[in-house]
Amino acid sequence: MDYRLFEGFACIPRLSLSSGCSFRCSFCTVPTQLVPATEERLVADVDALAGLSYGLIFIDDKSFGQAQNWQVLAKVRDIVCNRTDEFYGFIVQTPPSIAARPGFLEACYELGVRYVEFGVETVDDALLKWLRKPFSIGHLRQACSIARDLGMYIIPNLIIGIPGDDYSGSIMWLEDNVDIVPVVNVNWLSVHHGNDRGSLDLPDHGIADRDQNTSNKTWLSPSEEARGHLAIAQCYGITDSYWRGRSIDLQPLAMARS
């Protein structure tokens, strides 16, 4: 990538250590072939960020830790820390089942990971199974406990509009863990064309059914749609109530490692 036109631009840039994901969640269209990046290409991508202004880097591997090269993040950390004293670490995304593995998040913390993004979708084991998510509520709770002990923060991605979801589990989980959840990402369940992993047996009657940013879905009644909007308001209200006036306590990695 060539970022020279954006020199000095403040952002959270993205880097890929790998592409693809070996999990097969029913609603996802990410290729299932896992392809690690070469170290040479990764170094070149890091060098390309030199003119940008950033304090965090988002590692956009779909499930960080799947590819065997995940610990090469140490090299990225060292390159960036040698370039600036104002680098605060990485954001990675991975499922709670990987995050809950003994020693994994501890190793991530040493690599400079400070935020972990989870595709939580919903805190309901039956619905997680229906979505073919590779984790359970038990994994989620365990991963959150480890993250809290390490001083890491969680960014959950929630899906609203899953048939049969009353959102009570998600709301309760967020209330219990809001001290490590400064922000919540929300999308509406949608039907993706080209998904060859098995159908969720949902109707596809137009653009709205395929759009994750709209609540108008064929499979939702007006009352179910309204309940989804209420759940979103509750999630934002929980995080806003706790975090308003508070700040994230992060040290630059160079200082933390000195």
The DSSP code sequence of 107-122 is HHHHHTEEEEEEEEE-
* CA dihedral angle for residue 57, residue 58, residue 63, residue 67, rounded to 10 degrees: -40
The whole-number average pLDDT for the span 240-253 is 94
3-class DSSP assignment, residue 204: coil
Q: How far apart are the first and last CA of the chain?
A: 32
The residue behind tokens 């007006």 is 222
Is residue 255 domain-resident? no
Structural domain includes residue 153: yes
List the CATH number of the domain containing 235. 3.20.20.70
Residue 258 has pLDDT above 60, yes or no: no
With respect to residue 257, please indicate whether it lies within any of the assigned structural domains.
Answer: no
Average pLDDT over residues 116-133: 96
Q: Count CB-CB contacts under 10 A for residue 103.
A: 8
Distances (CA, A) of 199 to 35, 80, 147: 26, 43, 34
Give yes or no for a contact between 111 and 77, defined as CB atoms under 8 angstroms apart.
yes
In a domain, 1, yes or no: no
Q: Which residues of 29-62 are buried (b: 16+ CB within 10 A; e: fewer)?
A: eeeeebebbeeeebeebbeebeebebbbbbbbbb
Nearest to 26 by CA among 129, 135, 158: 129
Residue range 174-231, pLDDT digits in tens: 999 999 999 999 999 998 766 665 568 888 888 999 899 999 999 999 999 999 999 9
Asked whether residue 29 is domain-assigned, the answer is yes
The answer to the question of residue 2 being in a domain is no
Neighbours of 156 (CB within 10 A): 25
What is the pLDDT at residue 123?
98
- The count of domains in the chain is 1
Residues 253, 81: contact at Cβ < 8 Å? yes
Report which secondary-structure segment, H or E, holds 89.
Answer: strand 89-93
With a pLDDT cut of 90, the percent of the chain lying above it is 83
**Range of the structural domain that residue 240 is part of:** 8-246
Is 23 contained in some domain? yes
- Residue 210 included in any domain: yes
The Cβ of residue 215 has, within 10 Å, a number of other Cβ atoms equal to: 17
The whole-angstrom separation of Cα 245 and Cα 128 is 34
